[in-house]
Structure 1
Amino acid sequence: MSSIAVSEGARDLPWHAGLNSKHWRVLTASWLGWVFDGYEAYALFIVMPFILKAMLLPTQMADKAVFAGIAIGITLLGWGIGGLAGGIMADYIGRKRMMLYSVFFYALFTGLTAFANDFWTFCFLRFITGFAMGSEWSTGVALLAETWPNRARPKGAGFLQSGFGFGTLLAALVWLVLSQTMPMGEDTWRLVFIVGALPAFFCLYIRRAVDESEKWVEAVRAQRWAATEAAAGTGAPAAKRPFTLTEIFREPESRKRTLLAFLLSLTTTVGWWAISALLPEYAVSMAKAVGEATPGVWGLRAALLYTGGAVVAYLLSGFLADGLGRRLFLTFTYAGALLTTAITYLWTHSIEGLMVAAFINGFFTLGCAYSWMAIYPAELFTSSVRATAASFIFNAARLIAWLFPILAGSIVKTFGSIPQAAMSIGLIYLLGLVVPWFMPETRGKALPE
């Protein structure tokens, strides 16, 4: 078995001691899958103005913000539903097979998106694309957690999470290159989705280089269906496997862990939408107020710096979670998110200062706030339900958050200004200061079998 408990004598070894090519292949496959997801998600934001111009009637362009919100929201809805369904399937058919299906089908439908000629066909393809790519994350998290040694696992999970940030940067780079030449004129946006279809070839790598999780295989073979270590061995194994989504809510301890982790996930997701959706617009408005000649550039800079801060947090999060412990790391994350949101929207009064604040804010509200989901849930549940639990915690919040892009305009109107909207919604981070202390500390412990 490749993921083993760290012995007393091994504690002084470097965190990467014992990792071999098999471990790095698993990380590479999981990381690349998340890179493609990040590319796909951010590419949609970048080319949305060109898509709307190509597909909406002149009379509809007056409501282009509403149509943009619908397209993004439908993608997120598909992502949430697909992520939940894919996580469940990964606990039944295996991590490797589910990863193959996910990568292939979202690459296929991303490519087909390039040929959409009307808005509602585009939205349908976005929903299917979101559905397909939704399951890649929880599958990759479960596979890495079950194959990496305990000492290295949190660091590997943080590295995996960084893939999304690198994917968004890749999307920005691809569009930067294409926008310089515009090889297809106003239809150049279609090439962004053609590039997004390339991950289909990545399936060949997964088939040849990645093995199935031994922990999952052994759990299924031994019919270990309990959701947590607290319930394991409390009764005879059931001959018929219980439905995994039901199982994580059936046991009291599992139900408690699931609901508390979901509250933290909801805190992250709602808070992140309040920041990421409003930050570029806020940067543009501040640039206009000080008379910048190209205010739109500042919005893009803010978005890229925000993502850059998140990437740094992704790479460091595993080390921070191990150094601080899971509960203290979560408290640090949400305290930082709350404080830096106030700094960004209330206490920064220059456009240059906002760029610095955007980077630091991205470190907390996107980087740290999402990294724990790749590290902590896998440590709370057994192999037979691990992907289901991780996918529910991660994706159930999306089934609420998909409405935020659609309501973004009215949210600002309701609160009166962007800073007031961001701070009012950002108060949800207060939950993150309380909830972790009702959850178990898992630092240094082996995965539940």
Structure 2
Amino acid sequence: MDVEKSPAQPDIAASRAQPWHAGLTPRHWRILLGSYFGWIFDGFEAFALVVVLPFALKSLLTAHQAQTPSFYAGAAIGITLLGWGLGGVIGGVLCDYIGRKRMMMLSVFFYALFTGLTAFSTSFATLALLRFITGLAIGSEWSTGVALVSETWPDRARPKGCGFLQSGFGAGALLAALIWFVLSSFEPLGTETWRLIFAVGCVPAFFVLYLRRALEESEKWAAAVKAQHHTAADGTVVTTRPFTLAEIFRDPESRRRVLLTTTLSFAATVGWWAVSSWLPAYTAHLAQLRGQPAGIWVARMSLIYNVGAIAAYLASGFIADAMGRRPYMLLTFAGSLVMSVLTYTWHGALPPLMLLAFFNGAFTLGLGFSWMAIYLVELYPSRVRATASGFIFNAARLVAWIFPIIAGILVTRFGGIPNAALSMASVYVIGLVIPWFLPETAGRPLPP
């Protein structure tokens, strides 16, 4: 696969004098909205697991298993990540073959279905199995939405649109935090209230009806696929299309970009799942030490954390365009490292921890994942865009899934969450090195 190494700078000087949203039509916003809602449901489902996991494990673990709850918490997250990674790689490939719209509808339906079934878990093994299958469906949705928005929005507005799209994950996580705040305040099912948040997660299945009517297929993808077909003398259509997953590794420059960005994705993924995902448990621990209601403070922290993430998501496209892609990524990983250290070395009052949670969310979740939505689509052409983006975003999870389990073991061996989290936070150092070896794509058109 030929990767354009130094594309010519487009004539966009005149367009910069116009607002970034000039020329956007209702169709552009409709496509963004459809993809955005799909990613909202992903965010809801992922964060729902994080906030209710301590309560779910109390209900599901046997007396013997309950002696090492940190291990099983890490295992539940790790198994979800493993499914997410596999589903993301497979879904990205399928998206480049069967189309963006069709793949999105399938992924939304199946993760809604299995999220709802999670409410009926009767043991840790059942929970783990349902988390794995749900992860398969979640993983396939991200690359679909990013490819669709990036291929339909104009170059000037594309980074902002992709940043807005990524904010759907934060909005979904915020929604999960809000619902859990209400549920934990009233506890309608007592200690089994955690099941209700997964029951709510089956609602997105009805969203498929909207997707079927509102979304249009990407013309760039359709044109790229058509260009790889020809009509034989007997009138049959012959495809000369190589396997997309192999194609992104065929060209040396493409292969180099895949390996570097996957390493960077690994750092962001491990950083969030093995470091920031312990923040609810850490908040609960500090609240209990002060005789405060743990559930209420965890819910407050979750809300504030996700508000910070959403603010960063919405600003990410503007920051990336103003600074350039490479400085933006360096800022992201430096900030994530600093905020992780400040958060897990805090032993004071709870209100200042809430402020730290805001900035932690902004860096580790908001900016920490937005760069993938903005930057990866600019590195590959339409015929393999979803495959490349899906592989980079999700293949890291095929390695990173073990780290929440490792972190769970470290919590036990290091005598607490802070030491384990701080040791795992060193992964962010990778993000201070890798960006220097990647191309700057700010201001360049999307590869056809």
TM-score computed with the length of structure 2 as normaliser: 0.90
Match 2:155 to one of 102, 126, 150: 150
Of the structure 1 ranges 168-177 and 214-223, higher mean CA displacement relative to structure 2 is found in 168-177
State the secondary structure of the residue aligned to 2:393: helix
State the secondary structure of the residue aligned to 2:383: coil
Aligned residue for 1:256?
256
Of the structure 1 ranges 71-80 and 415-424, higher mean CA displacement relative to structure 2 is found in 415-424
The AA in structure 1 aligned to 2:176 is A
1:222-272 CA-partner distances (Å, limit 9, x unpaired): 129xxxxxxxxxxxxx95211111111110110111111111111111222
1:336-363 CA-partner distances (Å, limit 9, x unpaired): 2222233333477443332222211221
Deviation at 1:70, TM superposition (A): 2.6
Of the structure 1 ranges 167-176 and 381-390, higher mean CA displacement relative to structure 2 is found in 167-176
Is 2:201 aligned against 1:202? no
1:379-417 CA-partner distances (Å, limit 9, x unpaired): 000001100111111111111222233233322344555
Shift in alpha-carbon separation, 1:127–1:330, aligned structure 2, 3 A: same
Percent of pairs identical after alignment?
59
Q: Distance in 2 between matches of 1:254 and 1:316?
A: 29
Shift in alpha-carbon separation, 1:421–1:115, aligned structure 2, 3 A: closer
Q: Distance in 2 between matches of 1:319 and 1:85?
A: 31
Q: What pairs up with 1:390-405 in 2 under 5 angstroms?
A: 390-405=389-404
State the secondary structure of the residue aligned to 1:409: helix
Decide whether the 8 Å contact of 2:286 with 2:347 is kept in 1: no
Deviation at 1:33, TM superposition (A): 0.7
1:141-164 CA-partner distances (Å, limit 9, x unpaired): 000000001111101111111111
Aligned residue for 1:358?
357
State the secondary structure of the residue aligned to 2:216: coil
The AA in structure 1 aligned to 2:259 is L
Q: What pairs up with 1:252-401 in 2 under 5 angstroms?
A: 252-289=252-289, 291-295=290-294, 297-346=296-345, 349-401=348-400
1:295-326 CA-partner distances (Å, limit 9, x unpaired): 55434433332222111110100000000010
1:27-51 CA-partner distances (Å, limit 9, x unpaired): 1111111110111112223333443
State the secondary structure of the residue aligned to 1:397: helix
Deviation at 1:188, TM superposition (A): 3.7
Q: Distance in 1 between matches of 2:426 and 2:391?
A: 24
The AA in structure 2 aligned to 1:258 is V
Of the structure 1 ranges 63-72 and 165-174, higher mean CA displacement relative to structure 2 is found in 63-72
Q: RMSD of the TM alignment (CA)? A: 2.3
Of the structure 1 ranges 373-382 and 355-364, higher mean CA displacement relative to structure 2 is found in 355-364
The AA in structure 2 aligned to 1:92 is Y
Q: Distance in 2 between matches of 1:430 and 1:51?
A: 33
Deviation at 1:220, TM superposition (A): 0.6
Is 2:223 aligned against 1:218? yes
Q: Distance in 2 between matches of 1:271 and 1:122?
A: 24
- In structure 2, stretches of 5+ residues that fail to align are 1-9, 230-237
Q: Distance in 1 between matches of 2:345 and 2:179?
A: 34
Q: Distance in 1 between matches of 2:260 and 2:66?
A: 42
Match 1:178 to one of 168, 176, 183: 183
Shift in alpha-carbon separation, 1:22–1:124, aligned structure 2, 3 A: same
Decide whether the 8 Å contact of 2:177 with 2:299 is kept in 1: no
Decide whether the 8 Å contact of 2:151 with 2:218 is kept in 1: yes
Decide whether the 8 Å contact of 1:150 with 1:447 is kept in 2: yes
Q: Distance in 2 between matches of 1:114 and 1:422?
A: 29
State the secondary structure of the residue aligned to 2:292: coil
Q: Distance in 2 between matches of 1:282 and 1:181?
A: 23
Aligned residue for 1:78?
83
1:94-137 CA-partner distances (Å, limit 9, x unpaired): 11110011011111222222333343233222211111121111
Decide whether the 8 Å contact of 2:51 with 2:280 is kept in 1: no
TM-score computed with the length of structure 1 as normaliser: 0.89
Of the structure 1 ranges 156-165 and 421-430, higher mean CA displacement relative to structure 2 is found in 421-430
Paired residues, number: 431
Is 2:126 aligned against 1:126? no
Decide whether the 8 Å contact of 1:277 with 1:408 is kept in 2: no
State the secondary structure of the residue aligned to 1:385: helix
Match 1:38 to one of 35, 39, 43: 43
Is 2:248 aligned against 1:244? no
Q: Distance in 1 between matches of 2:71 and 2:122?
A: 19
1:2-50 CA-partner distances (Å, limit 9, x unpaired): xxx7744222110111111111111111111111011111222333344
Aligned residue for 1:421?
420
Match 1:27 to one of 25, 32, 35: 32
Q: Distance in 2 between matches of 1:275 and 1:119?
A: 22
1:47-98 CA-partner distances (Å, limit 9, x unpaired): 3344334434344333343333333222221111101100110011111110
Shift in alpha-carbon separation, 1:68–1:283, aligned structure 2, 3 A: closer
Shift in alpha-carbon separation, 1:69–1:432, aligned structure 2, 3 A: closer
- In structure 1, stretches of 5+ residues that fail to align are 225-237
The AA in structure 2 aligned to 1:73 is G
Of the structure 1 ranges 310-319 and 326-335, higher mean CA displacement relative to structure 2 is found in 326-335
Aligned residue for 2:107?
102
Shift in alpha-carbon separation, 1:275–1:305, aligned structure 2, 3 A: farther
Shift in alpha-carbon separation, 1:275–1:118, aligned structure 2, 3 A: closer
State the secondary structure of the residue aligned to 1:448: coil
Decide whether the 8 Å contact of 1:79 with 1:134 is kept in 2: yes
Shift in alpha-carbon separation, 1:55–1:344, aligned structure 2, 3 A: closer
The AA in structure 2 aligned to 1:444 is G
Decide whether the 8 Å contact of 2:407 with 2:424 is kept in 1: no
Q: Distance in 2 between matches of 1:442 and 1:34?
A: 25
Shift in alpha-carbon separation, 1:6–1:41, aligned structure 2, 3 A: farther
Q: Distance in 2 between matches of 1:320 and 1:82?
A: 30
Aligned residue for 1:87?
92
State the secondary structure of the residue aligned to 2:135: helix
